Amino acid sequence: MDNRLRGKIASEAVRLRIKRDVEQIIQQGNRPPHLAAILVGNDGASQSYVNAKEKACEDVGFLSSIYRLPENLSQNDLLDRIDKINKDDQIDGLIVQLPLPAHIDENVVNSRISPDKDVDGFHDINMGRLAKGNAVINPATPYGILLLLEHYNLSVEGKHVVVLGRSNIVGRPLSILLSGNHAFGNATVTLCHSRTKNLKEWCQKADILIAAIGKPYFVTADMVKEEAIVIDVGTTRIDADNERGWKLAGDVNYTEVKEKASAITPVPGGVGPMTITGLLSNTLLVRKKRLEQNTSA
Ligand code: NAP
């Protein structure tokens, strides 16, 4: 039985819709959406994420610009660069690839991106709007998970969702989104973290279990309710006997959990492609909004 929730396939469907919208924008005599990404330093994983985002932009007809900046760049120089992009009418969305070098404060950087161009959805204003149920931009990974569930017609309404991990980029915003009063919301959400007592018992109560902790193969079959839906956000590079010397490991022991779950995301090929799709959707949304308001070139 193939019970995989395939992010690659869901992504293709959503990206096709995005591509059509871009074609329409161009036909109306406007420039396509433009996403800018800042990459500081030479971290291998970050470089491949940024390259994948660039490729995805190209595939849907977006413009993209990557600013590759040196590891020893000062925080002020990075903030200056962000200010310039904020003011650039030709750019609709801006992301700063994380993690940043230790001498740069991630919160300061995220808060410097104009909330209107913050297509990762990390700015305090966007997080605040999300918390109040008025989100304009949803953080890319949680949004991507919603798009995945939507693609497979899996409603979360009335379901008990257990989210493992309370980070500001995945677990916490996801728990807010899923519990919100909107289409693809209205779930009852339990948010677990490293201080949660009886974690296994909470997991066993989940109709939908979402793991976002960064601990390879942490979720085992005995933690999962029969027929539960399991979403694995985890992506940790672990040593592997292949050409690259590493592979991506999820937070779920896929081989054993897939036998018990009614649906499950693989790693890779599950949530990963959906995150980029969430980002593309946000960039398109910002572009359309700016065209409506006539605030861009
Ligand atoms: P993070 O900032 O490190 O947060 C990890 C969270 O997991 C924390 O809330 C932590 O609890 C909790 N945690 C850690 N160990 C735990 C345990 N044994 N039991 C219960 N909770 C535990 O991580 P993140 O940025 O959210 O990322 C999580 C994973 O998702 C990583 O593997 C990351 O690479 C991956 N990720 C993937 C995508 C994608 O597109 N596929 C996108 C983003 C992230 P405390 O708060 O108590 O410390």
* d(CA 242, ligand 1 centre) in Å: 26
E strands, the chain, are: 34-40, 63-69, 93-96, 160-164, 188-192, 208-211, 229-232, 236-239, 246-249, 263-264
Summarize pLDDT for 218-242 with one digit per residue, the tens: 999 999 999 999 999 999 999 999 9
Return the structure tokens found at 89. 């009418």
DSSP 231-280: EE---EEEE-SSSSSEEEE-SB-HHHHTTT-SEE--SSSSHHHHHHHHHH
Active site residue 97: yes
The pTM score is 0.96
How far is residue 15's CA from residue 283's CA, in Å, rounded to a whole number?
12
Q: What proportion of the chain, given as a percentage, has pLDDT over 70?
A: 99
pLDDT of residue 186: 98
Strand order in the sheet with 34-40: 63-69, 34-40, 93-96
How far is residue 174's CA from residue 210's CA, in Å, rounded to a whole number?
9
Q: How many residues does the chain have?
A: 297
99 cis-preceded (ω within 30 degrees of 0): yes
pLDDT of residue 296: 67
* CATH class of residue range 140-272: alpha beta
* CB-based contact 178:156 (threshold 8 Å): yes
Indicate the burial class of 292 (C-beta count within 10 angstroms; 0-12, 13-18, 19 or more): exposed
Active site residue 105: no
pLDDT of residue 40: 98
Angle 164-47-283 (CA atoms, 0-180°, nearest 5)? 70
- Please compute, for residue 140, the number of CA atoms within 13 A of its CA located in the half-sphere on the CB side: 26
97 CB near ligand 1 (under 6 Å)? no
> Which residue spans of the chain are classified as CATH 3.40.50.10860?
28-116
Q: How many CB atoms lie within 10 A of CB 128?
A: 12
Summarize pLDDT for 32-91 with one digit per residue, the tens: 999 999 999 999 889 999 999 999 999 999 999 999 999 999 999 999 999 999 999 999
How far is residue 61's CA from residue 85's CA, in Å, rounded to a whole number?
20
- At the second CATH level, the architecture of 28-116 is 3-Layer(aba) Sandwich (3.40)
Q: State yes or no: pLDDT of 297 exceeds 90.
A: no
> Which residue spans of the chain are classified as CATH 3.40.50.720?
140-272
* d(CA 126, ligand 1 centre) in Å: 21
Residue with CA nearest ligand 1 atom 22: 194
Q: State yes or no: pLDDT of 1 exceeds 90.
A: no
Query: Among the options 92, 97, 117, 260, which is catalytic?
Result: 97
Tell me whether strands 188-192 and 160-164 are parallel, antiparallel or unpaired. parallel
Chain mean pLDDT for the chain: 96
pLDDT of residue 183: 85
Summarize pLDDT for 93-123 with one digit per residue, the tens: 999 999 999 999 999 999 999 999 999 999 9
pLDDT of residue 257: 98
| Stretch 125-149: mean pLDDT | 96
pLDDT of residue 223: 98
pLDDT of residue 184: 86
Summarize pLDDT for 166-223 with one digit per residue, the tens: 999 999 999 999 999 998 899 999 999 999 999 999 999 999 999 999 999 999 999 9
